[in-house]
Amino acid sequence: MMSKGLLIVVSGPSGCGKGTILAEILKDEKFFYSISATTRNARPGEVDGVNYHFLTKDKFEELIENDGMLEYASYCDNYYGTPRKPVEDMLEQGKHVILEIEVQGAMKIKEKCPEAKFIFILPPSLKELRRRLNKRGTESDDVIEKRLNEATGEIKQAYKYDYALVNGELSIAVDDLLAIIRAEELNLKNSNNIIDEVLENA
Ligand code: 5GP
C-alpha cells in the first residue's frame, strides 16, 4: 500500500535563502514543488509556469471564485496563491509536496490541513537579511524597505511553526531541513506502513 505524501509548508522572509535551500532538496524526485500563481511581474530570468504562473488580477480572482486555490494571500500589493489540484494529486501519488508561501497563507493551510508540517527559515540576523536583499539587486529600494518591514512581522510569527532553522551556512540548512522531513517520514502519526509491512510479511 502506498502512503500519501507529506504536505510541507516552508516560510521565511524574502531574502532568507529559502529558494536556494529548496533547490537543493528538490533534486530528489520524492518531492514536488507547488508552483504558485501570482499577480506580480516576473523578475528577469523568471519563466511563466516554472517559477510562478504569472496571472492578471482578473484571472486570479476568477480562480479564487472557482475554488481553484488551496490558499491565497495578498503580500506587498500582489496576490499569491497555491493552485489546489496539483497539490492534491501529488499527495495522492505519495510525493511530498512543498509549499513555499508566506505566513498568512501558511496559517490558512494550518486551518484546512492540520496534518501539514510547518517549517520557518530564519536569516542569521536582520542585518544580514538587508545585505542579502541589497545584493540580490532585483528590487528597488522602496520594495526592499517594504520587504524588510514585512520580514520583522513575519519572523515574529515563526513561533506558530513546528520547526525553525537558520540559513547561515547553506549545507547545514539543507541537512537540517532533510533531517526534519526524515523524522516526519518516520513519525507514526503520518504512516503506520512500516509496521504494517513487517506484520504482513509473516
Ligand atoms: P516573491 O515575490 O519574493 O517571489 O514572494 C513573496 C512572498 O510570497 C514569499 O514569502 C513567498 O514565499 C510568498 N509566496 C509565494 N507563493 C505563494 C503562494 O502561493 N501563497 C502564499 N500565501 N504566499 C506565496
User: Within 10 Å of residue 77's Cβ, how many Cβ atoms?
Assistant: 9
Nearest CA to ligand 1 atom 4: 14
pLDDT in tens, the chain (202 residues): 457 999 999 999 988 999 999 999 999 999 999 999 999 999 999 999 999 999 999 999 999 999 999 999 998 899 999 999 999 999 999 999 999 999 999 999 999 999 999 999 999 999 999 998 888 877 788 888 888 998 999 999 999 999 999 999 999 999 999 999 999 999 998 877 788 889 998 8
Q: Are 9 and 116 in contact (CB under 8 A)?
A: yes
Say if ligand 1 is within 6 A of residue 100 CB: yes
Q: Is 82 in the pocket of ligand 1 (CB under 6 A)?
A: yes
Nearest alpha carbon, ligand 1 atom 10 = 102
> Model's pTM, two decimal places?
0.92
Domain ranges (residues) in the chain: 7-34+95-200
For residue 186, give the 3-state DSSP assignment: helix
Decide: 154 in ligand 1 pocket, CB within 6 A: no
**Is the C-beta atom of 87 inside 6 A of ligand 1?**
no
Between the alpha carbon of residue 154 and those of residues 10, 75, 129, 178, the distances in Å are 12, 11, 13, 23
> What is the homologous superfamily of the domain 7-34+95-200 according to CATH?
P-loop containing nucleotide triphosphate hydrolases (3.40.50.300)
Nearest CA to ligand 1 atom 20: 81
Query: Using CA positions, which residue lies closest to atom 3 of ligand 1?
Result: 14
